[in-house]
Chains A and B, each alone.
Chain A
């Protein structure tokens, strides 16, 4: 991580980032640019350095903040119309920890509204364009953050991953994207999507930067009862020997070039002396169906608070209390938000709960157990992130199921709560599009997983 010091002024670093953001504005990466605050903070850090005072581990480092993190700088809208005008008096724990180390937010990044999507086309502000091909999607839901790092505007960006929202856009744009073990980073102050699978993570250019950010942002938080006791910084290093590959993913539903990339990577690891273990994980076939029951249920519940009464949008049409709810929610949510809320209310409604929600919760148990068994046979698992590289804008946005299939290889990690890192693994021959692979580890193996990621970089 390049931080400000006597030779690199924070103001220059921030100004450079702001200029790049301006230069790439036609990629629709940012929903808000934090110029004034950012330069002010940079100046303060430069003064500290000049006075020879101690500065943080991220002093003067410009970063991009996904639009679903609460902070008083700019409106927090989760790229949704219904949160228009909402400036938070509260700061998310993760944001506070970054700022305490001197990191400087230069802008909020575009996302699928409420993180519902895999292309950032579901944003109220319109889609973000891929870093390598502006006719293609950035991936999602954290599309803006991935592209901001891929184009070198910032050294790192925050993301949230409920079913692949960090790993898939990272792989579509050729950067590192990490979804930690569930409960590693506090969710306090992050707009909730699905509480039992939501994870906070980052986009970086290197595994080393990822490790630094994790050691800063991780840790138990009294404001989030589902945070684990501080384990990340106290992890004993453990070297890996066996790497697993999942047979069930090696079929024509996955793009040939991605499967080639996976083969090359495993061959490289074999040469380095790693044992490659073939895994059969039949329950993963049902992960996506279980995911699209459990997550919409939690989404429908978590989005009940957006009602036009206490904050955010209130429909102009509203005339009485009923219409404040109905019209505000109807106007404020994107079509995909509505689909998920209605599916969620369907699987929870009386008569369907057992057949759908409860059934999915049981399937989830089988998926958790399948990963536990797998990690008795290997230290890490190497899989594709998504079945295909970045697709064309508009190609899937009107076909929800096709869009959901994008997540087929990423959601099982969220259901099991295990960590996954998306790593760059070359480009496609024809279109020169980034290919990503993901390294999956057991719960709480995060620090060692990031160390193993360095092993996977081609010489």
Chain B
């Protein structure tokens, strides 16, 4: 399939990248090549085949509903952000 510029811009929007012209252009060619390659799968007959999402034969892996100490405190976590205020993460006003 052909990859158009607006496809790249749409994917950039889904990915939250502020691409500049030059980068958008080179990505257009790269992605076109990659999509061409992965499209080989069309040849493979998967009629009636169930999908595999995990190569892990276990199921029902869950835990007890008990409060436990965690690996990091609120202070350690909030120290990682650029700016905290009143024990919250401060960001520019979200509209």
User: Which residues from B are CB-within-8-Å of A318?
Assistant: 92
**Cross-chain contact B17 with A401 (CB below 8 angstroms):** no
User: Which residues from B are CB-within-8-Å of A125?
Assistant: none
Contact digits for A309-331, partner B, Cβ 8 Å, 1 yes 0 no: 11110100011110111110110
The closest CB in chain B to the CB of A331 belongs to B18
A290 to B72, CA, bound (A): 38
**Cross-chain contact B72 with A321 (CB below 8 angstroms):** no
A364 at the interface (CB under 8 A from B): yes
Instruction: Report B38-73 residues with CB < 8 Å from chain A CB.
Output: 38-44, 46, 49-56, 58, 61-63, 71-73
The closest CB in chain A to the CB of B20 belongs to A330
**With contacts A343-B35, A360-B41 known, is A324 near B91, CB below 8 A?**
yes
A359 to B40, CA, bound (A): 11
User: Which residues from A are CB-within-8-Å of B31?
Assistant: 339, 342-343, 346
**Cross-chain contact B92 with A320 (CB below 8 angstroms):** yes
**Cross-chain contact A321 with B91 (CB below 8 angstroms):** yes
**Cross-chain contact A329 with B38 (CB below 8 angstroms):** no
Q: Which of A310, A345, A356 contacts B11 (CB 8 A)?
A: A345
User: Which residues from A are CB-within-8-Å of B82?
Assistant: 314
**Cross-chain contact A286 with B40 (CB below 8 angstroms):** yes
**Cross-chain contact B49 with A182 (CB below 8 angstroms):** no
User: Which residues from B are CB-within-8-Å of A366?
Assistant: 44, 46, 49
Q: Which of B11, B46, B58 contacts A346 (CB 8 A)?
A: B11
A196 at the interface (CB under 8 A from B): yes
CB distance from B51 to the nearest CB of A (A): 3
Q: Which of B15, B92, B94 contacts A329 (CB 8 A)?
A: B15
**With contacts A225-B61, A400-B33, A401-B34 known, is A364 near B52, CB below 8 A?**
yes
**Cross-chain contact A342 with B16 (CB below 8 angstroms):** no
Interface residues of chain A: helix, strand, loop or mixed (majority):
helix
The closest CB in chain B to the CB of A303 belongs to B15
A415 to B39, CA, bound (A): 18
**Cross-chain contact B80 with A364 (CB below 8 angstroms):** no
Q: Indicate the size class of the contact surface on chain B.
A: 35 or more
A334 to B68, CA, bound (A): 38
Instruction: Report B68-95 residues with CB < 8 Å from chain A CB.
Output: 71-73, 76-77, 80-82, 89, 91-95
A295 to B10, CA, bound (A): 20
**Cross-chain contact B56 with A342 (CB below 8 angstroms):** no
A289 to B30, CA, bound (A): 15
The closest CB in chain A to the CB of B82 belongs to A314
A327 to B17, CA, bound (A): 7
User: Which residues from B are CB-within-8-Å of A359?
Assistant: 41-42, 44, 46
**Cross-chain contact B54 with A196 (CB below 8 angstroms):** yes
Contact digits for A324-362, partner B, Cβ 8 Å, 1 yes 0 no: 111101100101001101110111010000001011111
A63 to B81, CA, bound (A): 31
User: Which residues from A are CB-within-8-Å of B54?
Assistant: 196, 226
Q: Which of B11, B16, B44 contacts A326 (CB 8 A)?
A: B16
User: Which residues from B are CB-within-8-Å of A335?
Assistant: 23, 26-27, 30
CB distance from A352 to the nearest CB of B (A): 9
A89 at the interface (CB under 8 A from B): yes
A283 to B71, CA, bound (A): 43
**Cross-chain contact A365 with B71 (CB below 8 angstroms):** no
**Cross-chain contact B52 with A361 (CB below 8 angstroms):** yes
A312 to B11, CA, bound (A): 24
**Cross-chain contact A365 with B35 (CB below 8 angstroms):** no
**Cross-chain contact A293 with B38 (CB below 8 angstroms):** yes
**Cross-chain contact A365 with B49 (CB below 8 angstroms):** yes
**Cross-chain contact A292 with B37 (CB below 8 angstroms):** yes
User: Which residues from B are CB-within-8-Å of A338?
Assistant: 15, 17, 23, 27
Instruction: Report A190-246 residues with CB < 8 Å from chain B CB.
Output: 196-197, 222, 225-226, 228
Taking Cβ atoms with an 8 Å cutoff, the residues of A that contact B are 86, 89-91, 182-183, 196-197, 222, 225-226, 228, 283, 286, 288-290, 292-293, 300, 307, 309-312, 314, 318-321, 323-327, 329-330, 333, 335, 338-339, 341-343, 345-347, 349, 356, 358-366, 368, 400-401, 404, 415-417, 443
Sample 7 A-B pairs with CB under 8 A, ordered by A number: A86-B80, A89-B80, A182-B56, A289-B41, A338-B17, A368-B55, A417-B55
Taking Cβ atoms with an 8 Å cutoff, the residues of B that contact A are 8, 11-12, 14-19, 23, 26-27, 30-31, 33-35, 37-44, 46, 49-56, 58, 61-63, 71-73, 76-77, 80-82, 89, 91-95
In the complex, given contacts A309-B91, A324-B92, A362-B51, what are 18 additional A-B residue pairs having Cβ atoms less than 8 angstroms apart?
A: A89-B73, A196-B53, A286-B43, A286-B44, A309-B81, A311-B81, A319-B92, A321-B91, A321-B93, A326-B17, A335-B30, A338-B17, A356-B41, A362-B52, A363-B41, A363-B44, A368-B55, A404-B37
